[in-house]
């Protein structure tokens, strides 16, 4: 269980910005999202999408706690 | 000072505050980026940040700039939310002993902010809204700093 | 605006005035030069100008910068007379469509102002007064512009 | 006759900043100054000293009117 945040075009694609998702790892969160919205799960795995766990960038999989915040960050556009 | 704001700001007031009371700083450079009106054809910009993360990531680059250019101080204020044509988007100020360091650090920070900072930018134009990626020029500008030697 | 002044000034107030009401300017760069206090060891600076001639000569370089970098506008305020440590000496602001032109023009103008503008500079230190010539670094900085191609 | 202005170290050397000097050309002004203060005249002919006639730089000699302003400008130091 973690709080999942989406930004930029990912948010528009999903139709939501923030949601509680079941799963004890980032991979489990991706699977839970895929079960409900495969198109979104594909976009989350897309090129240039970075993942931040509790505001720190992580690569690959990582364990997430119940109070964790997992953000999917599409390519950043700069200001 | 690294801060995001949802409101228009006066770059001059920020410069007054930044320059007050400096005794050992010989050089202050600033940059203010404004949303151009494009003779009424401009889209409204919408900038999204990840509060906390965005400031922290900018802070890391700011620390790099501080060390690389020997800055005495720096300030960055960046708009988020909807920005109307003519409004300021970003203000960067750098303080250093001498002008070359102040100029180069300001330029360096802007190249980073325009190309890689954690913002997502949407344009609301007459033909609808679209998400913007950095331009090739933005990437080229930033890449200048990857190999270039800095003047002492 | 090209102006000399015998009085301390607030660079922030100048930037507020310079940036007000701009609709088509995407980029404003500024530079403020301050007299360093050098931990109390700084000499008092005395800057002499040739009123009328000095502004006209600076105006010619400003016109060069305006054309070379495609500036929308620029402002230069320069102190003359006795300048105490910690006080501002010079303020330059440049407005352009894009940031590279604004930065480069500001840098170019400062290199000129620091090395060749019609000022005569005297330092009043503990060991007496002496007239100052531009440093080798000032000349080298200015010479960068003699051969370098400007980015579009 | 012209109003002669000195700047920077030339002013310190001469001990004056502005003076009316007899002469219908810059060369005549130099001669008049030399008759009174040869050291100053030498400095005015020194390397890097420029001459402005009515606020425009001139090279070599030039005629000066009675209301003319002639300035001797030592190497400029920048601000």
Tally of CB atoms within 10 A around C40:
7
User: What's the pLDDT at C148?
Assistant: 54
Cα–Cα distance measured from residue A45 to residue A42, given in angstroms and rounded to the nearest whole number: 5
Q: Which residues of A touch B117 (CB under 8 A)?
A: 76, 78-79
User: What's the pLDDT at B152?
Assistant: 43
Q: Which residues pair with D13 in a beta bridge?
A: none
State yes or no: pLDDT of B147 exceeds 80. no
Q: Which residues of B touch A75 (CB under 8 A)?
A: 133
As for how many domains chain D has, the answer is 1
Domain that holds residue D36: 2-73
Is D12 near chain C, with CB under 8 Å? yes
* CATH code for the domain of D6: 3.10.20.30
User: What's the pLDDT at C147?
Assistant: 63
User: What's the pLDDT at C81?
Assistant: 97
Cα–Cα distance measured from residue B93 to residue B73, given in angstroms and rounded to the nearest whole number: 8
Q: Give the chains touching A; criterion: ≥3 Cβ pairs < 8 Å.
A: B
Do residues D48 and C134 touch, judged by C-beta distance below 8 A? no
Report helix, strand or coil for C77.
strand
Q: Which residues pair with D52 in a beta bridge?
A: D57, D71
Return the beta strands (E) in C10-152 as ranges: 27-34, 44-49, 73-79, 81-83, 88-96, 119-125, 128-132
In a domain, D12, yes or no: yes
Q: Which residue has the higher pLDDT, D77 or C149?
A: D77
User: Which candidate, D38, D46, D41, places its Cα nearest to that of D75?
Assistant: D46
Its pTM stands at 0.90
Residues D64-76 have a mean pLDDT of 94
* C 98-137: CB under 8 A from D: 112-122, 131-134
Q: What is the 3-state secondary structure (H, E, C) of A25-38?
A: EHHHHHHHHHHHCH
pLDDT tens profile C54-91: 999 999 999 999 999 999 999 999 999 999 988 999 99
pLDDT tens profile D9-52: 999 999 999 999 999 999 999 999 999 999 999 999 998 899 99
Distance in angstroms between the alpha carbons of the first and the last residue of chain D: 32
* Residues in chain C with pLDDT values less than 50: 149-152
Q: The tokens of B122 are what?
A: 């949407």
User: Which candidate, D11, D77, D23, places its Cα nearest to that of D48?
Assistant: D77
Torsion of CA A30, A36, A42, A46, to 10 degrees: -50
Do residues C109 and C29 touch, judged by C-beta distance below 8 A? no
Is A71 near chain B, with CB under 8 Å? yes
User: What's the pLDDT at B150?
Assistant: 47
pLDDT tens profile B122-142: 988 888 888 987 677 777 887
In a domain, A78, yes or no: no
Q: Which residues pair with A2 in a beta bridge?
A: A21
Percentages (nearest 5) of helix, strand, coil residues in chain C: 40, 30, 30
User: What's the pLDDT at B148?
Assistant: 54
CB-closest option in D5, D9, D78 to C131: D9
User: What's the pLDDT at D15?
Assistant: 96
Helical (H) or strand (E) element with C115: helix C99-115
Say which residue the tokens 């980026």 belong to: B33
In a domain, D32, yes or no: yes
* A 13-32: CB under 8 A from B: none
Q: The tokens of C29 are what?
A: 């760069």
What does the pLDDT profile of chain A (79 residues) look like in tens digits?
899 999 999 999 999 999 999 999 999 999 999 999 999 999 999 988 999 999 999 999 999 998 999 999 999 988 8
Instruction: List, edge to edge, every strand of the sheet that includes B119-125.
Output: B81-83, B44-49, B119-125, B128-132
In a domain, D26, yes or no: yes
Cα–Cα distance measured from residue D51 to residue A43, given in angstroms and rounded to the nearest whole number: 72
User: What's the pLDDT at B8?
Assistant: 95
Instruction: List, edge to edge, every strand of the sheet that includes D69-73.
Output: D18-21, D2-6, D69-73, D50-53, D56-58
CB-based contact C14 B12, cutoff 8 Å: yes
User: What's the pLDDT at A14?
Assistant: 97
Q: The tokens of C112 are what?
A: 């000129």
Is B92 near chain A, with CB under 8 Å? no
Q: φ, ψ for residue C108 (rounded to 5)?
A: -60, -50
- Burial class, B54, CB count within 10 angstroms (exposed 0-12 / middle 13-18 / buried 19+): buried
User: What's the pLDDT at C38?
Assistant: 76
User: Which candidate, A11, A24, A26, places its Cα nearest to that of A73?
Assistant: A11
CATH architecture of the domain formed by B2-143: Alpha-Beta Complex (3.90)
Do residues A28 and A68 touch, judged by C-beta distance below 8 A? no
How does residue B151 score in pLDDT terms, banded at 50, 70 and 90?
A: very low
Cα separation values, D46 from C136, D16, D64, D72, Å: 21, 18, 21, 11
What residues does each domain of chain C span?
2-143
Cα–Cα distance measured from residue C33 to residue C11, given in angstroms and rounded to the nearest whole number: 10
Is B86 near chain C, with CB under 8 Å? yes
């Amino acid at each position: 269980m973690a709080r999942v945040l989406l930004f930029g075009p990912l948010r528009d694609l999903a139709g939501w910005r923030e949601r509680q998702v079941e799963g004890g790892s980032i991979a489990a969160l991706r699977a839970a999202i895929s079960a409900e919205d495969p198109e979104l799960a594909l976009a989350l795995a897309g090129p240039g999408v970075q993942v931040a766990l509790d505001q720190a960038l992580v690569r690959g999989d990582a364990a997430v706690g119940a109070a964790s915040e997992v953000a999917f960050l599409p390519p950043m556009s700069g200001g | 000072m690294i801060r995001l704001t949802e409101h228009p700001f006066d770059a001059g007031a920020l410069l007054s505050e930044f320059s007050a009371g400096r005794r050992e700083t010989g050089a202050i450079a600033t940059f203010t980026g404004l949303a151009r009106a494009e003779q009424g054809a401009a889209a409204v910009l919408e900038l999204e940040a990840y509060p906390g993360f965005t400031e922290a990531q900018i802070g890391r680059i700011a620390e790099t700039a501080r060390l690389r250019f020997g800055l005495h101080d720096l300030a960055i204020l960046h708009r988020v939310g909807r920005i109307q044509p003519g409004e300021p988007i970003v203000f960067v100020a750098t303080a250093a002993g001498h002008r070359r360091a102040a100029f180069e650090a300001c330029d360096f920070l802007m190249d980073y902010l325009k190309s890689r900072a954690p913002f997502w930018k949407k344009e609301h134009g007459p033909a609808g809204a679209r998400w913007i990626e950095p331009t090739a020029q933005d990437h080229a500008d930033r890449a200048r700093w990857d190999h270039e030697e800095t003047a002492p």
